[in-house]
Amino acid sequence: MSCAVSGEDCHGSISIPGPILESVVVEIAKAWKLDVEIASMGSLETALAFRMLDIHSGALELAAKPGLTLSDVYARLPYATLPFDVALTVGLSIIDRAAKRIDHKWALLLDEFEIAHPSLQRRVLGSLRSANRKLLYKVALAPCGPHTSESLDTLGPPSHKNDYKQTNLWHSEKVSALRFCDQLFHSRVGHHKPLAGKTPTQVFGRTWEGDSDEQGNGARASDRLDKLSQDFLELRSKDQSFARFLDEKHLDAASPDTSLSLVRKIAPLVAFRNAFRGAVLSRKSRKKLLSVYTGWEALASISEGNPRWFIGMVNMIISRTRETDPLPIDRSVQHHAIEQTSEAFSAMLQTAATEQAMGITTTKSVYELLSTIGSYFNRRLVEDDFIEEIPLSFEVSHIDGEIEKALRIAINLGAVVSLSDPDEMGGFRTLEGKRFRLAYLLAPEFRLPLRSTKSVSLSTILSDATASRRSGRRADAIDARHRQGALF
């Protein structure tokens, strides 16, 4: 009789002779207060399944008991006194001793741990700073869960024996998301034979950013300069503030000097503003708008490096193409998939509960807050007087408690991305002084470019929205998606 543990996701195997294995099962069952009829791994698994059933039935019985005390709980569930981490370590040590690998380490993976009971969170997070050599924890947490209210200061200073490594599962910068998505693309492209050996830009083309080749076909520098000049001239003719800016900076709209850092800096802004500005959009502008949110760079950025979002959009795009279709894939096909994903995400946010299981409750609508922020950035970008650097990120300072709670929910849902490092283990104890941006998946919804520039105070954005409502000027962009969708 032997026990072997192996598989694609395992890093090793265990082989324990029959008589020793029986002893292992008996010892673990005793440590965990389990009843096993046969000394086998199968019997141990069955006993654990019965334990889960007993926990559920016991909880129902205790919930109906009047005047419930802790003694009642321990009397009905005697194993409830077992500290899970110590019990687990004892069980693993029994296995390793039988396998003659005393110094072996195990990893415990806890995904979506923010939904666990706070007391369990405290125990696990405290264990991250312990000197337990047997058990390593890999914990996935929402950045604004209840664990962020817990301090680890009393656990002692970190050392090489009792420390933890924190990895943010969001990408503050586009280059990081692009790198991750490139690796993900190459790992999955083999599933689609016509795309085998192709690069992401060959499949999806390049993203138009005003001074780049929008089709990714290696356009000549002179052609790109012509497109740039056209944007400068068109915007100058319909935007007096831009005309004044050019005059003040002594820039020639007919022949912008791309060797100047200022020209390179404002080129994407000019292109975006020119495409969106004006009540009536030409066929040429529609083509530019179609290119804003398509192409490899846009696809990777909009996905935020989220594997589910990225794979979902890529699969949707590929499912609407035929093997004989030329590359790069048609822009309208890409836009349809990206727009559908953005709309679905926005719809989810509009119906997001203001009370979450992770302990955040607010009276403020999450989507209303996001819409206020998105509308502000869009107006500064398209409608207000032209300036060379428009704020596209915001910093939290002196905001209402309900607003902060709504913002925390938005962060947990992935609608807001942090540009600042967390101040606590796994998240943010406070949002004060932290810098954020809207997720790029919301860019098509609020007609925003896929970039994050300088920040503006969130208090300023909220005050502007209040002033706009008082003056009768619309401050929301809820119907921006419908105006944009009609273009294509």
pLDDT at position 183 is: 94
Residue 238 in tokens? 């319909």
Residue, of 487 and 394, whose pLDDT is higher: 394
The residue with greater pLDDT, 42 or 281, is 42
CA distance 185 to 190: 9
Q: Assign 155 a pLDDT band (cuts: 50, 70, 90).
A: very low
Q: What is the pLDDT of residue 214?
A: 43
Percent of the chain with pLDDT over 90: 55
| Residue 35: pLDDT over 60 | yes
Model pLDDT for residues 185-199, shown as the tens digit of each residue? 998 876 787 888 899
Which value, in Å, is the radius of gyration of the alpha carbons in the chain?
A: 28
Under 8 Å between Cβ of 177 and 452: no
HSE of 362, CA atoms in CB hemisphere, 13 A: 22
Residue 366 near residue 352, CB atoms below 8 Å: yes
Which of residues 210 and 19 earns the better pLDDT score?
Answer: 19
d(CA 338, CA 296): 12
Q: Which residues pair with 427 in a beta bridge?
A: 424
CB 128 within 8 A of CB 137: yes
111: number of Cβ within 10 Å: 9
Give Dmax over CA atoms of the chain in angstroms. 90
| Predicted local confidence at residue 5, as pLDDT | 45
Alpha helices, DSSP H, located in 239-330: 240-249, 261-276, 283-292, 296-303, 307-319
The pLDDT, as a whole number, for residue 6 is 41
Cβ–Cβ under 8 Å, residues 459 and 200: no
Mean pLDDT of 270-279: 82
Q: Which two tokens stand for residue 149?
A: 């209210």
pLDDT digits (tens, 9 = 90+) for 36-64: 989 999 999 999 999 999 999 999 999 99
The domain limits of the chain are 18-139, 174-348, 366-471
**3-class secondary-structure state, position 436:** strand
Taking CA atoms, 196 is separated from 50, 185, 206, 331, in Å, by 49, 11, 19, 20
Q: pLDDT, tens digit, for every residue of 348-401?
A: 999 887 766 567 888 899 999 999 999 999 999 999 999 999 999 999 998 999
Q: Compute the distance between CA of residue 388 and CA of residue 382 in angstroms, rounded to an integer.
A: 12
Rounded to a whole number of angstroms, the distance between the first and last alpha carbons of the chain is 67
Tens digits of residue pLDDT in 309-359:
999 999 999 999 988 899 999 999 999 999 999 999 999 999 887 766 567
3-class SS of residue 327: coil
CB burial of 225-250 (b: ≥16 within 10 Å; e: otherwise) equals eebbeebbebbbeebeebeebbeeee
What does the pLDDT look like over 85-97, one tens digit per residue? 899 999 999 999 9
pLDDT of 18 above 60: yes
Q: Residue with structure tokens 């970039």? A: 451
- Tell me if 48 sits within 8 A of 28, measured CB to CB: no
| Spatial separation of the C-alpha atoms in residues 433 and 447, rounded to whole Å | 26
Q: Residue 146 gets which letter from DSSP?
A: G
Length reported for the chain: 488
